[in-house]
Amino acid sequence: MYPKTRGLALSASFAVLLGMFSLVSIPIPFDLIPITLQILGVFLIAALLGPYYGTLSCLIYLMFGAVGLPVFHSGTSGIPIILGPTGGYLVSFPIATLVGGSISQRVAKTRKMDLMRVAAGFAISLVIIYSLGTVWLMEYLNLTLVQAVLLGVVPFIGLDVLKAVVAAPIAVRLRSTRYDLPVNRISKVTNSIPAEQTPSE
C-alpha cells in the first residue's frame, strides 16, 4: 500500500500545480473557452499519480476553486464557474484522470512500452474531457452537436495533442526514475525498488 500521508501531500501539491497551469490563459476571439495549460496538468496527474490519487488531486483542485481560490482559467474561482459554460471541462478532469490513470497506472518494463501506455491514457482522458465539455456546452448554450464541437473542440485539439506530446516523455522519464510515485507503488513500501521493476530503454 502507498503511504496515505505521502499520497495526500502529492495530491494537494499537484492540485496546486494544476491551478498554476490554469493561470496561463489566452483568450480566443469569439470563443468562450480560453487556451490554458490545464489539460497538460491533467495528463501529468493521471500518468504520475494514478487513478486514486490523481482523481483525488483533481477533486482537491475543484474544491480549491469552489471555495474561492483563483485556480480556474484566468485566475477565476467560485461555483458559478463550475456551473458555467466551461464547467463540463472542469467536471471532466477527475473522471478523465480516473480512467486515464487506470490505463497507465502500471509502469511497463521498457520505456517504449511505457510511452505507449501513457499515450493511451492521455488519448482516453482527452476523449472524456472533450465529450463531457461538448455535451455541457450543448445543454448550457442550446447548441447543436456540430456547433458545440466547433466551439469547444476544433480550436483546441491541435494544441492539446501537442501538450500530450510534451507531457508523455516527461511522464515516462519521471515514472522510470522516481520510485516514490504512486504509479511505482509495491506491496511493501521500502526505500528501494527491485531491479526488475525498473523500466529500461
State pLDDT tens for residues 26-41: 888 877 788 899 999 9
**Rounded to 5 degrees, what are φ and ψ at 191?**
-85, 0
Max CA separation in the chain (angstroms)? 56
Q: Which of 29, 64, 57, 31 is nearest to 43 (CA)?
A: 57
Query: What's the confidence (pLDDT) of residue 180?
Result: 85
Report residue 138 as a C-alpha cell.
450543448
Q: Is pLDDT of 88 > 80? A: yes
Average pLDDT over residues 3-30: 92
Instruction: Tell me what pLDDT residue 185 has.
Output: 67
pLDDT, one tens digit per residue, over 112-138 is 999 999 999 999 999 999 999 999 999
Compute the average pLDDT of residues 173-184: 88
Q: How confident is the model at residue 200 (pLDDT cuts 50, 70, 90)?
A: low
Cα distances (Å, whole numbers) of residue 56 to 44, 60, 61, 151, 173: 14, 6, 9, 29, 23
Q: Among 93, 49, 50, which residue's Cα sits nearest to residue 71?
A: 93
More confident residue, 192 or 72: 72
Cell 509502469 sits at which residue? 107
Q: Is the pLDDT of residue 87 over 80?
A: yes
| pLDDT for the residue 174 | 94
Contact residues for 73 (Cβ-Cβ < 8 A; gap 6+): 22, 25, 34, 36, 38, 86
> In the chain, helix, strand, coil percent, each to 5?
70, 5, 25
Q: Which domains are delineated in the chain?
A: 4-24+33-184 (1.10.1760.20)
CA atoms of 185 and 194, how far apart (whole Å): 11
- pLDDT value, residue 3: 85
**Residue 194 above 60 pLDDT?**
no
Mean pLDDT in the chain? 90
Q: Which residue do the cell numbers 488531486 mark?
A: 57
In this prediction, residue 1 carries a pLDDT of: 75
- Mean pLDDT along residues 73-87: 94
Do 87 and 136 form a contact (C-beta atoms < 8 A)? Answer: yes
